Amino acid sequence: MFKAFTSMIKSVEVKALKILECCGLVKTYGRTKAVDGLSFSVEKGEVLGFLGPNGAGKTTTIKMILGLTRPSGGKVLIDRNTKTGYSPETPYFHPFLTGHEVMRFYSRLQKLDRQTAGRQIAELLELVGLSGAAGIRVRNYSKGMLQRLAFAQALLGDPELLVLDEPTSGLDAVGRIEMLGLIGRLKREGKTIIMNSHILGDVEKVADRILIIVNGKP
C-alpha cells in the first residue's frame, strides 16, 4: 500500500533482529519542532507501545516511518522488503461502499489475486467481528466498527509490520476491550506492532516495551 512512498524513506538492510530503526528523527513546521532528535528501534516479533499526550509528536513520527511525510533531519532505516500495514487514528472510507467493498478495494492496492483476496477478506472480517455487517455501507458504521474495519484492512497481505495509530481512541469500554484482545492475539502469533496511544493502561496490556514521548523527545 505504501510502495509509492518508499523513495521518501532510507531503505536499507537492517540488523537481523530489527525490523525498523529510527535515527535522530527531526520534524519541523516553521519554527516549531514536532519531533526533536528521536531514536529508537523495533525488533521483529515485539509490540512497541508509543506513549505520550496528544500533540507529543507520535503521529508525526508514524507518518515519517510510513513515508507519508519527509523528516527534516535524521533517517528511517527499514528493510526494503518489509510489508507494512497501517490503521490510522481517524479512518476514512468512501461512505457509499460496503465493508466488503472497502476490503476488496484495499486488496487490489495490495495486488492480491482474486482467490487470495477473497479468502483473506472473509477471514479478516470474521476476525474483527464484521462478517455480519460486510454488506452494510460504511456510512452506517459506528466509530468502533470503522476502527475494526481499518484494523482489518491493515492486515491484508499479511504485513510483517503493523502500525496502529490510536487504535482504541474514541471507543467505548467494550470496544476497547475487543480491540486490545485483537492486538493481543496478533502479539501471540508473533506479529511486529507499533501501537501509538495516549492511554497508559491500554499500552501496558499489550506492549513488550514502551517508548514515552513528550514534546517530540523521548
Domain boundary assignment for the chain? 17-82+162-217, 97-159
Max CA distance (Å), the chain: 51
Q: Which CATH superfamily is domain 17-82+162-217 in?
A: P-loop containing nucleotide triphosphate hydrolases (3.40.50.300)
pTM, to two decimals: 0.85
CA angle 61, 99, 174 (to 5 degrees): 70
- pLDDT for the residue 52: 85
Query: In Å, what is the CA distance from 171 to each residue of 30, 53, 62, 67, 90?
Result: 34, 17, 21, 28, 12
Sites in the chain below the pLDDT cut of 70? 1-16
Residues in the chain: 218
CA angle 91, 92, 95 (to 5 degrees): 140
Number of H helices and E strands in the chain, helices first, is 6, 9
- pLDDT for the residue 131: 95
Q: At what angle do helices 143-154 and 114-127 cross, to 10 degrees?
A: 140
- pLDDT for the residue 89: 87
- For the beta sheet containing 161-165, the strands, ordered from the edge strand earlier in sequence to the opposite edge, are 84-87, 161-165, 192-197, 47-51, 209-212
Measured between alpha carbons, how far is 109 from 79 in angstroms, rounded to an integer?
20
Map residue 101 onto helix, strand or coil: helix
Q: Give the containing element (helix H, strand E) for 178.
A: helix 173-188
